[in-house]
Amino acid sequence: MKMRVGDWVEVRSKEEILRTLDKKGRMEGLPFMPQMFQYCGQRFQVFKRAHKTCDWVYTVKSRWLPNGIHLNLRCDGEAYGGCQAACLLYWKEAWLKRVDENGKSVEKASVLDKAPCTEEDVISGTCITNGENEVLYTCQGTELPDFTKPISRWNLKQYWEDYSSGNVTLGPMMKGFIYAGYWYLENKGAGIGLDRPLRWFYNAFQFLWGPYPRSKGKIPHGQLTPTCSLDLQPGEMVRVKSFNSILATLDTKGYNRGLLFDAEMVPYCGGIYPVKTRIIKFVDEKTRKLVTMKNACIILETVWCQSRYSECRMFCPRAIYSWWHEIWLERVSKSANPESI
């Protein structure tokens, strides 16, 4: 169907979708999750074309996803122990039908035989109990290696699809390529002394593409890093501190109390955003277990990874929410205007 960003689609009926699923509630390895049934028959715009995604847990690289779509719909975590990660849901094009300019569905519902999968099958596929009486969850995130295939960073087809689908506009794409080229040259030139002049050049022209996003902190690794508590609550407005201020709270590997300040968070520095939630529990995609954190992190509205500075997964459309320590934020008036990026 080759849907583009902004296209209108209608989620097919429950009966139509069940007909595409196997007994485990999957299509080509991709689980259809229980909370997705509530959207059947409703219409949404395409948020991103999910022709690729990223495997953050196992390989930290890009992977092909055939006929994948992201709508602006996220997992509510209800079927997964109350997980608060709010991941974007993956949709197969077969679960959607295009809506034309007049608001009419392009395709009519088909008369289908009895589906091999039931709604109960989909629900029962969300978790199991292991031999130690621990609950292990199965969601789209935990099964990502099963419904995707590896893709090389040098495969140019992916970047054409990034652009032609509307996922990435020309400006951010060129900035991403400039950074990737710089990163490659700096690493190759480190042994012959070219890394310092290259870093000077990058910083001298940062007004064109932003500061170097992988600068390290000042605190020796292994030493305690600072903390603060603002007790931020959903709906409050905050300003992300400047990059230099945040660097002062990080160790030389870029961490503060075990949480990495990732390069993808740098473009949001200085911006004002509403607090979405305090995240305290999430499903670990590798162990499949629900993890409860010692200290809550903050998720901000519209603040997610854009994969501009991740050379192994450039322009991944997965849009994972960034997690923030409160020491990286400062409370501002609720009348402050939020920013978008």
Q: Which of 316, 331, 328 is nearest to 260 (CA)?
A: 328
Q: Retrieve residue 53's tokens.
A: 């995604």
Tell me which CATH code domain 215-282+293-341 carries.
Answer: 2.30.30
> Nearest 5°: CA angle at 141, between 4 and 38?
65
Q: What is the pLDDT of residue 112?
A: 55
Mean pLDDT by 10 residues, the chain (341 residues): 91 96 95 97 97 88 95 96 97 94 64 78 93 93 95 93 96 90 76 74 83 89 94 96 96 95 95 97 95 95 94 92 98 79 54
> What is the C-alpha to C-alpha distance for residues 233 and 279, in angstroms, rounded to an integer?
11
The alpha carbon dihedral of 19, 24, 25, 30 has a sign of negative
Write down the domain spans for the chain.
8-150, 168-212, 215-282+293-341
Q: Which of 190, 177, 241, 249 is nearest to 216 (CA)?
A: 249
Q: What is the pLDDT of residue 170?
A: 94
> Nearest 5°: CA angle at 59, between 216 and 310?
40
> What is the C-alpha to C-alpha distance for residues 276 and 273, in angstroms, rounded to an integer?
9
Q: Retrieve residue 151's tokens.
A: 């893709």
Q: What is the pLDDT of residue 104?
A: 67
Q: What is the pLDDT of residue 190?
A: 60
pTM, full prediction: 0.90
